[in-house]
């Protein structure tokens, strides 16, 4: 017998669940000011997330997918990107959008059913939210291919969930990225659940990172609740892609602390003890403990931050509630540069109905 290949998957972690350093931190995490800045972003994002849940529960927002528990993944990855890179996301990356500069008002408009919320002022190179599972993996490969053809020093970063890594589009995208050596980084958030299906039922693979092996690209697993580790791994993968080294697959292991969406009730299929144990590993408390340990943060800092976050979120919420409702034609005009002829009758019908409704209200 001849062994034609041997493979290993590295797992990276710097902070334990109590926020204590397990090893010397990388150069990218040795400035306390930077870690404090990233911690502030995580706390603000969680405050915003909780407000969006409250708005949905009171009928002021549509169905919403909470990002509770994945703040370290979104902040760690986006803090490793440059402004000119492109982020391609699914519906659970609100935190990443905030970190990239999308405003709270724009995010609220999107989840309120107003397509104007997808027309970000910044970042203009990022893609809108993709609802179809894993299809944006192929979009990321296409974008990365264009970057390579144009000889641009840019990288496409594609974020998906663990359930999406079972889809055909994911494997096709990985294969293309490897074959054409493209500047793209795939980040799989392994939050243990694809709606009500546990990770162990989704795939027999020991890790999701090892799915990179068949595509001929590096795969690495990282503790997704450890911001320091996520940021370092993302920095290495993104700069490798930017330098012409090709694609990488990152598996960030975390846990979905919320329901799948506001249309779901996870208590019907998930054990409460499992959720309670996951809360002991959540990312914000871990980084806060580290910062407290090195005396870069204090109780008064925390109290002041929480007040500022609450004010900022409330201001954005009020702006959203005061925002004029979209005209019926907006759903067509925001989606197409040139409206397909087949949809023109629908647009006319929507305009006519809107006019009739307005007349009825006036009468």
Catalytic residue positions, numbered:
256, 260, 269
User: Rounded to 5 degrees, what angle do the CA atoms 211, 82, 258 make?
Assistant: 55
Measured between alpha carbons, how far is residue 13 from residues 226, 240, 253, 341 in Å? 7, 20, 11, 54
Contact partners, residue 120, CB within 8 Å, separation at least 6: 101, 102, 103, 106, 126
Q: How do 193-194 and 197-198 pair as beta strands? A: antiparallel
Q: CA–CA separation, 172 vs 187, rounded Å?
A: 15
> Which residue matches tokens 């697959």?
249
Which element (helix H / strand E) includes 233? helix 227-242
By residue count, the chain amounts to 363
H or E, element range at 87? strand 86-88
User: Is 304 strand, coil or helix?
Assistant: helix
CA 315 to chain centroid: 23
- Counting Cβ atoms within 10 Å, is residue 30 exposed (0-12), middle (13-18) or buried (19+)? exposed
Residues forming a β-bridge with 159: 187
With contact defined as beta carbons under 8 Å apart, do 7 and 210 qualify? yes
For residue 99, the number of C-alpha atoms closer than 13 Å in the C-beta half-sphere is 28
What 8-state DSSP symbol labels residue 60? S
d(Cα 74, Cα 231) in Å, to the nearest integer? 9
């Amino acid at each position: 017998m001849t062994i034609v290949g041997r493979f290993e998957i590295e797992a990276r972690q710097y902070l334990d669940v109590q926020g204590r350093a397990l090893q010397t931190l990388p150069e990218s995490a040795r400035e306390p000011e930077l870690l404090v800045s990233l911690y502030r972003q995580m706390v603000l994002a969680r405050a915003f997330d909780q407000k969006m849940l409250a708005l949905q529960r009171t009928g002021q927002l549509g169905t919403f997918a909470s990002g509770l528990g994945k703040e370290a993944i979104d902040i760690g990855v986006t803090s490793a990107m440059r402004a000119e890179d492109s982020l391609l996301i699914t519906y659970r990356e609100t935190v990443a959008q905030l970190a990239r500069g999308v405003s709270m008002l724009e995010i609220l408009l999107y989840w309120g059913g107003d397509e104007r919320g997808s027309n970000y002022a910044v970042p203009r190179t990022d893609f809108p939210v993709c609802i179809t599972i894993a299809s944006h993996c192929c979009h990321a490969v296409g974008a990365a291919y264009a970057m390579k053809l144009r000889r641009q020093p840019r990288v496409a970063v594609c974020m998906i969930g663990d359930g999406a890594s079972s889809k055909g589009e994911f494997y096709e995208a990985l294969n293309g990225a490897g074959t054409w050596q493209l500047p793209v980084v795939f980040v799989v958030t392994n939050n243990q659940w694809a709606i009500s299906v546990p990770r162990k039922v989704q795939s027999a693979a020991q890790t999701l990172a090892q799915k990179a092996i068949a595509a001929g690209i590096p795969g690495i697993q990282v503790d997704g609740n450890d911001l320091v580790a996520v940021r370092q791994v993302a920095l290495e993968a993104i700069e490798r892609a930017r330098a012409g080294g090709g694609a990488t697959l990152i598996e960030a292991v975390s846990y979905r602390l919320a329901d799948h969406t506001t249309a779901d009730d996870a208590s019907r299929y998930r054990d409460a003890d499992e959720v309670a144990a996951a809360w002991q590993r959540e990312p914000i408390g871990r980084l806060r403990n580290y910062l407290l340990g090195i005396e870069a943060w204090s109780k008064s800092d925390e109290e002041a931050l929480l007040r500022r976050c609450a004010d900022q979120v409330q201001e954005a919420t009020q702006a959203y509630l005061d925002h004029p409702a979209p005209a019926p034609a907006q759903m067509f005009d925001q989606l197409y540069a040139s409206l397909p002829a087949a949809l023109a009758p629908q647009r006319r019908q929507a305009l006519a109905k809107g006019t009739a409704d307005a007349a009825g209200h006036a009468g």
